Amino acid sequence: MDDRRRAERFPLTLPIELGHTRSETHDFSGVGVYFSSDQPFEIDSELEFLLRVPDAVNVRCKGHVVRVNPMGGRYGVAATIEEFELDESPAGNRNDAHIVIQELRRHHSKNS
């Protein structure tokens, strides 16, 4: 098993927002996310992004880019999730035990 895989990955397609860039995830774990982008990101660059979990909550995340894969004019970007905060906006105020929230809390016990 690859040591970098510290958490189970889930093949979730979620809207992700990175500043003015909007995209979607390909998979998610409690410690990271993989998404596609039309912009290349630099490895080790700091990243702030918003995960929109439909019918559940919005999650504001901070992390770093760990891998960038060219994908025919687009890029696959793997990033860590080092900090997260549940969005208190009206669209994101439900406390459902969605898999995203469960996994984040499981791997970031200080936020549970």
Chain Cα centroid distance, residue 50: 8
Which pLDDT band holds residue 66 (cuts at 50, 70, 90)?
very high
Tell me if the pTM is above 0.85.
no
The residue-averaged pLDDT of 28-35 equals: 95
Cα 58 from Cα 81, distance rounded (Å): 14
Question: In this predicted model, what pLDDT tens digit does every residue of 2-13 receive, in sequence order?
Answer: 445 568 999 999
Cα 65 from Cα 81, distance rounded (Å): 10
Of residues 1 and 79, which shows the higher confidence score?
79
Neighbours of 77 (CB within 10 A): 27
The highest-level CATH class for domain 15-111 is mainly beta
Q: HEC states along 3-72?
A: CCCCCCCECCCCEEEECCEEEEEEEEECCEEEEEECCCCCCCCEEEEEEEECCCEEEEEEEEEEEEEEEC
Which pLDDT band holds residue 112 (cuts at 50, 70, 90)?
very low
Quick one: pLDDT at residue 5? 57
Neighbours of 11 (CB within 10 A): 9
